[in-house]
Structure 1
Amino acid sequence: MRTVGVEEEMLLVDIRDGRAQSVQGQVVLRPALGEMTLAAQGDEGALEGEFQQEQLETHTAPVHLMADLEDQVRHWRREADAAARQAHCRVAALASPPLPTGPTPAAGERYQRIRERYQLVAREQLSCGLHIHVSIESDEEAVGVLDRIRSWLPVLLALSANSPFTDGEDSGFQSWRSQVMRAWPSSGPTPLTGSARAYHQLVRDMTASTVLLDEGMVYFDARLSQRYPTVEIRSPDVCLRVDDTVVLAALARGLVETAAAEWAAGHPAPEVSTIMVGLASFQASRHGMTGDLLDPLTFRPRSAWEVVDALLEWIRPALQANGDWPRVEAGLERIRAEGSGADVQRTTFDRTGQLVDVVAQAVRLTAGQE
């Protein structure tokens, strides 16, 4: 059974006015160079700084069982919130700040170089994603997986959508974060490469162009991790609810298991245009689970939940083999009944008319209090 770990980026907020707070430097411990340093670390994960002072990031350790992943996600959210309280704020698993925020840059030489290179793109970047790491046996297997899951990643984005508000207004998108991320030069669908050699050559060419600062700035929706022997799926928004994070992780592992088996059996990867995958991502970003998605097989509009059913049909054997099927089935039924994070945020705003209430509820849901 493959291991799974997640990274959750979250906002530091003041629940009195709902605004993101630039207090990361008070929450995490930073040595002289100030790069991604730790507020807490252990065998079960870590709590770190992120690109802007209004953010934190948690890491879980790799695990086999989704029950263990749930325990770790809850643990590190508690650790993050406890650390934030020391700076008189709270943690919110929101993929974009609902209220206007002028991001404050985090310390560190690399971050400074990114700001100098990318200017307003970097200065305005304040979004929070969910990154899911699934273990792989080799780079060849990993590229075989990437080539076969790329068309399905917009479905994960739709299920995770959690950023409808930005700068004090409704963006009209379920996931505004995914639109913000498109400003980076290397973001978007993972290209079809066919082999580890071709993938690595592409990354070398991208960095040799000097448009990218380094290989760490390859922001494909899924990529080979630089730090771990994993495929790193980066398309989802950070999720409001712990349960949704775990469901997304289980789906991601099911995708990787299924794609790896097809690669090992010699089944060819679908030769789908990167442009069409990009259109599917836009559709998922715009509508989430509230309308049509693009069917990953035909790239024609289809009811979002019918597309989810098609995904489940493909990966169900892997979900059952891993023991994840009951959790996924129950979790998707909950999303269908209660909506994604974006739906929850809009429902709260419709009820109260106050974005501060949206943020306050997000703090409670992040902490597992609702």
Structure 2
Amino acid sequence: MIEPGKSTIRPGLSRPFGLTLGVEEEFVLVDARTWQLFPAAPQVLAASGGERPTLHGEATRYQLEVSTAVVDTAAQLRKELLALRRELVEAASANGCRLVASPSPVMTLQEPLHLCDDEPRQREQLRRYGALTDSLISCGRHIHVGTLDVDTAVRAANRIRPWIPTLIALGANSPFWDGRDTGHASWRTLAWSAWPSAGLPPHFRSTTHYRRCVRTLLDSGASLDTKMVYWDLRPSERWPTLEIRALDMSASVDSAVLQATLGRALVATALRELAEDLPTPLVREDVLRLARWRAAHDGLEGFGLDPFSGAEVPAAVLAENLLDLLAPELAATGDLDEAGSALTVLLRDGSGAHRQRAVFQRRGQLTDVMRHLADETEGATALPTAG
């Protein structure tokens, strides 16, 4: 994400104002004829004018990442995402490949893993972590909410943790991995959780405790550096933001904006509760861990676990409960109506995982799934036609 300016949160007020947004999105490249992953990231980057803050490579030569500017409104965020995606779609097409918003390598990789040639860090990851690096070919959406100092970000994270499973269910889009249906709506969530520095962050007793947990990851060898703190939710290691990292990548720009505005409203709600000195709701760690797995398994179409009671609840109800909780903050930023409409459409049409499986059931061909994902990605960038 491009560096934000100074904080616009006004001290002493119970409701924070001016929380900014930034989003990072990761994509894979596939051969336009075979639908196999295509290690063309350097060529596509060159066709787009080279690496820069808004566009850069990822861990492998199959992947690219875009980073929006820091924005204040959902409309600005949508404009940023569309412009960056259009640029990549055109550059990919010029190099014989398709840009795909796929969180997972749907089809079996037919060649050795192509890490970035100029990234010694990825080579060291391969040497130290072995087969765990297979999961580097996965794509997520990261939401940055700022501007926050580390102390505030840590305290806000504790209050947001219970809703991470619901966000996972809302974004579930990776049922297929390495040539098979995994039986999960978001297999990326579980595959990525194999990294020892990934998953839900601890409940931090203080900023000192947070820093101690990070230092333990580094000293134990679980992380090479702070970039490898892969928690679902963390203070950013580069920017003065709280970073929500749990979400699968998806083609829908509407979903991206919905997730970002929900993320900002979660932070705003946490800050309001902190200003009012409200107690942090108690959550059993075992229930939260199971809720995260159930969200990854069932996605939006099945059931989840209420993070506070542990009761089994339809995932759609949990999503609606989240919207109700955040309604005051969404209304304050003018995002409530759009968020409500986007959630209604998502519940009606189904999650990305649901739609992928529907495509596969027609002919049983994973190439159809890849074509569907590529078409959705390109369709999401299309300019509106005149009425």
TM class, shorter-length: over 0.9
Q: What residue in structure 2 maps to residue 85 of structure 1? A: 93
Instruction: Report the CA distance between 1:329 and its aligned residue.
Output: 0.6
Instruction: Report the CA distance between 1:241 and its aligned residue.
Output: 0.8
Contact 2:135 2:191 in 1 (8 A): no
Aligned match for 2:179, one of 159, 168, 181: 168
**1:106 and 2:116 aligned:** yes
Instruction: Report the CA distance between 1:212 and its aligned residue.
Output: 1.5
Instruction: Report the CA distance between 1:40 and its aligned residue.
Output: 4.9
How far apart, in 2, do the equivalents of 1:167 and 1:123 lie? Answer: 10
Count of residues paired in the alignment: 361
How far apart, in 2, do the equivalents of 1:241 and 1:137 lie? Answer: 28
Q: Which runs of 5+ in 1 are unaligned?
A: 31-36
Tell me the SS of whatever aligns to 2:54: strand
**1:363 and 2:371 aligned:** no
Q: What residue in structure 2 maps to residue 238 of structure 1? A: 249
Residues 76-100 of structure 1: per-residue CA shift (max 9 Å, x gap): 1111222222321011001112111
Residues 120-171 of structure 1: per-residue CA shift (max 9 Å, x gap): 1114531111100000332121111100000101111101111111122111
Aligned match for 2:279, one of 250, 260, 268: 268
Q: What residue in structure 1 maps to residue 76 of structure 2? A: 68
Contact 1:6 1:133 in 2 (8 A): yes
Instruction: Report the CA distance between 1:238 and its aligned residue.
Output: 0.5
Which portions of structure 1, spanning 4 or more consecutive aligned residues, are displaced by more than 6 angstroms? Answer: none
Q: What residue in structure 2 maps to residue 220 of structure 1? A: 231
Amino acid at match of 1:262: E
Amino acid at match of 1:24: A
How far apart, in 2, do the equivalents of 1:236 and 1:146 lie? Answer: 16
Q: Choose 251-260 or 355-364, whichever is displaced more.
A: 355-364
Instruction: Report the CA distance between 1:315 and its aligned residue.
Output: 1.1
Aligned match for 2:334, one of 297, 313, 323: 323
Contact 2:19 2:147 in 1 (8 A): yes
Instruction: Please provide the CA RMSD for this pair.
Output: 1.8
Contact 2:31 2:97 in 1 (8 A): yes
Q: What residue in structure 2 maps to residue 19 of structure 1? A: 36
How far apart, in 1, do the equivalents of 2:159 and 2:61 lie? Answer: 37
Matches within 5 A, 1:43-54: 46-54=54-62
Aligned match for 1:137, one of 148, 152, 155: 148
Q: What residue in structure 1 maps to residue 14 of structure 2? A: none
Residues 234-282 of structure 1: per-residue CA shift (max 9 Å, x gap): 0010012111111111111111110111122212223424332221111
Q: Which runs of 5+ in 2 are unaligned?
A: 1-17, 383-387
Contact 2:175 2:183 in 1 (8 A): yes
Residues 124 and 196 of structure 1, relative CA distance in 2, 3 Å threshold: closer
Matches within 5 A, 1:143-292: 143-292=154-303
Instruction: Report the CA distance between 1:25 and its aligned residue.
Output: 2.5
**1:94 and 2:111 aligned:** no
